[in-house]
Structure 1
Amino acid sequence: MTATPITSALTPDQVARRIDTLTVIDVRTPGEYASGHLPQALNIPLDDLRAALPDLKAAADRGDLLIVCASGNRSAQACATLAAEGLGAATLTGGTTEWARLGYALDRPEGGRAVWAMERQVRLAAGSMVLAGLLAGRRWGGARWVSAGIAGGLVFSAVTNTCGMAQVLSRLPHNRARACDLNTARDALRAPGAPVE
């Protein structure tokens, strides 16, 4: 019997009580996922979500989907994408950051290497580019336009609740899903009860 779809936000406490009844999808980059994820979470990066729609639909037919990321922003985007496809899903309020802050355990893959959260990567990239533009602008005035462009991009990002820089950074090799990892997650969505590594 199919569970009633959920389209809402769940607190970490609510998720902890229901974790065994949810299919948890982590939409962060593989590097972020390796730094710690909710128990039993499958990694389907936000950029790969559309490719996994048939598998997500199969999982949703068996029960409720919970979409998580670091803070809740990317998971909200993923929930909107799924809702447009007729799939209900919940997002974890505060993401894995709030989950860990409240003392809930995070799983880490063996041999996985931790990568900074995407928000931190964006802050480093944006700050470095602004600083470089300002320093270079002391010698070449036009270089200050780099800083102005980044500042404008950050304002646009805040107003539209999107982040073009995060989309670019997510394509770096350390943030990309290996095909075998993505296929493993998709296989687990198709096969209920399959062990997740």
Structure 2
Amino acid sequence: MTAPTTIDSQDLSERLSSAAPPRVLDVRTPGEFETAHIAGAYNVPLDLLREHRDEITKHLDEEVVLVCRSGQRAAQAEETLRAAGLGNVHILDGGIVAWEAKGFAVNRGAQRWDLERQVRLVAGSIVLTSILASIAAPKLKWVAAAIGGGLTFASLTNTCAMGMALSKLPYNRGATCDAQTVVSQLVGPAGDRKAR
């Protein structure tokens, strides 16, 4: 398997201004996307992309750039698209964090916590609560151990079951987070892309 092809923020900015701009797919949750996203990007959450990969890839015939917060979810999306036979796929190096750090503009909406921050809050809260509660019920310390084991597994496999579960909460979902809406946006007129 070949290493994913990355593209830096400057190169993406130049390509977006070209006559044939790439299709930018932001694989974060709708809540994260609403907070800040690159103009013209399509929100295709990672779980939705995985579940409807074949249907979505039918509408991706040009160059595709995948964006997430820092690159982890984009790398997983890249694997999914390559497995479906899509070849011209790139990952924005450093994700939206690097894009903003380089001073490139984003469209902003309601501010929400990103998924990684939510995972840290939930995992930390469970560990803290179970350790404190283990004073009264000693066996609760194993809940903290389970969370620690889960985080270790997540790091080793570059996946996160807690993140996947949190991404399905209403806080992270939008009204337009379904395969039919995503596909209709992808097949809409090319001019719609510039207005996003």
1:87 counterpart = 2:110: no
Instruction: Provide the rounded CA distance (Å) in 2 between the counterparts of 1:170 and 1:180.
Output: 11
Per-residue CA distance 1:74-129 (angstroms, 9 max, x = gap): 00000000000001211101100110011101112xxx422111110100011000
Normalised TM-score (structure 1) = 0.88
The unaligned stretches of length 5 or more in structure 2 are: none
**Contact 2:71 2:93 survives alignment (8 Å):** yes
1:101 maps to amino acid:
A
Query: Could you say which residue in structure 2 is the equivalent of 1:55?
Result: 56
1:51-83 alpha-carbon deviations (Å, 9 max, x no partner): 253333322x2x101110001000000000000
Deviations 1:28-66 (A, max 9, x none): 00000001001100101111103253333322x2x1011
Instruction: Give the equivalent residue in structure 2 for 1:115.
Output: 112
Alignment partners' CA distance in 2, 1:193 and 1:172: 32
8 Å contact kept, 1:43–1:182: no
Q: Which runs of 5+ in 1 are unaligned?
A: 1-6
Deviation at 1:183, TM superposition (A): 3.8
2:91 match: secondary structure:
strand
5 Å matches for 1:32-47?
32-47=32-47
> Given the two structures, how large is their TM-score scaled by the length of structure 2?
0.88
Q: 2:165 aligned to 160, 165, 168, which one? A: 168
Question: Aligned-pair distance for 1:11?
Answer: 0.8
Which residue does the alignment assign to 2:29?
A: 29
In the alignment, what sits opposite 1:139?
136
- Go from structure 1 to structure 2 and tell me whether the alpha carbon gap of 1:55 and 1:157 turns closer, same or farther (over 3 Å shift): closer
**Moved segments of 4+, more than 6 Å:** none
Given that 2:9 and 2:93 are in contact with CA atoms closer than 8 Å, whether structure 1 keeps it comes out as: yes
**Cα pair 1:55 1:190 within 8 Å, conserved:** no
Secondary structure of 1:115's partner?
coil
**SS of equivalent residue, structure 1 residue 105:** coil
Give the % identical residues: 42
Q: How many residues align?
A: 186
CA 1:55–1:153 in 2, change beyond 3 Å: closer, same or farther?
Answer: closer
State the SS of the aligned residue for 2:25.
strand
